[in-house]
Amino acid sequence: MPRVLPAGFAGELREYQQRGYEWLSAIRELGLHGCLADDMGLGKTVQTLALLIDEVESGRAQAPSLVVAPTSVVQNWADEAGRFAPKLKVMVLRGGSREERLEKLRNLADYHLVITSYALLRLDQELLTAQPLHYAILDEAQAIKNASSQTAQAARSLQAKHRLTLTGTPLENNLMELWSQFTFLMPGFFGTRARFLRRYGVEKAGELQPELLDQLRQRLRPFLLRRLKADVLTELPPVTEVTLRCTMTPPQRALYEKVRNTYRAQVMRLVDETGIERNTLTVLEALLRLRQACCHPDLLPFEDARVTHDSCKTELFLHTVDELLREGRRVLVFSQWTTMLKLLRKELTDMGIETAYLDGATRDRSAVVAKAQAVDGPPVFLVSLKAGGVGLNLTAADVVIHYDPWWNPAVEQQASDRVHRIGQTKPVLVLRLAVEESVEDHILVLQERKRALAISAIESEADGVKHLSRADLEAIFGAGSGPVLRHSQPLGGGYIDDLEEI
């Protein structure tokens, strides 16, 4: 039955958003909890705000509601609340001194909506969990995919009458992520972790028998609403995805082979002795160095890397951007390394190309985004994947370039959807840059495996490493021998710092 929007909602909902609002209201009336898993860019925030203002106007909300979101999305929630639900009294918790936040939290009951980040949820857990809440809402809820993490434990300890998760990627790596999310929503829904593992054979999720997948979908259907852009936004322009490949120059290839030879023996020995899962950081560091060798020698912390500055991928990138700008396109560039983005920014500046830049250290994110979105804004926007992969509307661009591929296709999809979303009027081109005969070939293959898992279960970091086989590692590292890097430390001996960027 159609449900009238609350008087305090200052906006309109598309037909599918109206159905989403009605679904959220229906599960609340039934005393149930659920996951709004609409595709990225379909307006999960605005549907949720319509629900919250209705709860306040009806008098059902006798306590504040809490939204927990990635740090990069907190301001977006505040902006959207001011736009669509201006009558809500909103408290935004950000960084600063803990004393200041605690002082604000003591007045929590004076507000309708409190918005905080996952990082602050952990820091302020004691006060937040002591406060009765009307709704506890987790945005980008894949943040609790690891049920044993401090973030997931803090979220589960919240005392809320209603619970809701929002995510465009309810499953990224394996089915245990669904178990973790529903353990927050409805503890016991899937039983214990051990029981869930036994029932669905999570380690072989990509090979689940059809009858088990049907059982899983049937179990989830009442509590998970999933709509795809292709199904509900037929007016969106098309997306074309292309992988551009390049071949290393001889100096870059020689450096790459040195990196591979340096790590191969130790990685294979440790994996043979104790398995891949117990050596995840070791394998991850080795793969990290191979990926850096593909992207640019200047990313590597080795003396040998100072000898050459050849990067076939950087050359391909600069040539591609030059051609795109000649066509009048605007380009959004993602990389997992801020060091790489800064190298690209310098190269573009030397070519006389204006850029905008955003990473985790950017102070005034809103001003940078406004500049990039302006009609006369810079034609290239460089964004770190971690800082800009979620929560931003960047529809001024019509080309997305992923400079460095990684295991998780869902992360790339989230980033691409900053451009292909409501408000985009031009066809979108998504380009992935990859080096031939390198670790990046294997990354692209693994992406397809994980994409198939997500599609089969709902209708995708380090977890990807755990699903590699010894045969995968043999293919990546090869079987040859040759020169190794000078002055390289043993694995795990001090080169882990930049793992934080991925």
Domain extent listing, the chain: 15-232, 239-501
Bridge partners for 139 per DSSP = 166
Q: Tokens 């890097």 — which residue?
A: 485
Q: Would you state the CATH architecture of domain 239-501?
A: 3-Layer(aba) Sandwich (3.40)
Q: Is the pLDDT of residue 209 over 70?
A: no
More confidently predicted of 493 and 295 = 295
Q: Which residues pair with 36 in a beta bridge?
A: 166, 225
Closest CA to 233 of 458, 422, 20, 430: 422
Q: Which residues pair with 384 in a beta bridge?
A: 335
460, pLDDT greater than 70: no
Distance CA 323, CA 319 (A): 6
Look at residue 1 in the predicted model and tell me its pLDDT: 58
Angle at 201 between CA 269 and CA 441, to 5 degrees: 50
Confidence of residue 484 (pLDDT cuts 50, 70, 90): low
> CATH homologous superfamily of domain 15-232?
Tandem AAA-ATPase domain (3.40.50.10810)
Q: Tell me the three state secondary structure of residue 16.
A: helix
Lowest mean pLDDT among 25-34, 298-307, 312-321, 390-399: 390-399
Look at 324-338, 439-453, 484-498 and tell me which has the smallest mean pLDDT.
484-498
Between 467 and 89, name the one with better pLDDT.
89
Contact partners, residue 29, CB within 8 Å, separation at least 6: none
Q: How far out from the chain centre does Cα 138 lie?
A: 14
pTM (two decimals): 0.62
Residue with tokens 């460089």: 382
Lowest-pLDDT range of 67-71, 305-309, 383-387, 478-482: 478-482
Q: What's the chain's average pLDDT?
A: 81
Q: How confident is the model at residue 315 (pLDDT cuts 50, 70, 90)?
A: very high
Confirm whether 15-232 and 239-501 share one CATH topology: yes
Predicted confidence at residue 360, as pLDDT, reads 81
Closest alpha carbon to 411 in 360, 347, 355, 461: 461
More confident residue, 425 or 39: 39
pLDDT for 143 equals 86
What pLDDT score does 205 carry? 43
CA atoms of 164 and 166, how far apart (whole Å)? 7
Going by pLDDT thresholds of 50, 70 and 90, the confidence category of residue 405 is confident
Which pLDDT score is estimated for 355? Answer: 94
Q: What sign for the dihedral angle of Cα 182, 188, 192, 198?
A: negative
pLDDT tier at 493, thresholds 50, 70, 90? very low
Between 352 and 444, the higher pLDDT residue: 352
| Percent of residues, the chain, with pLDDT higher than 70 | 83
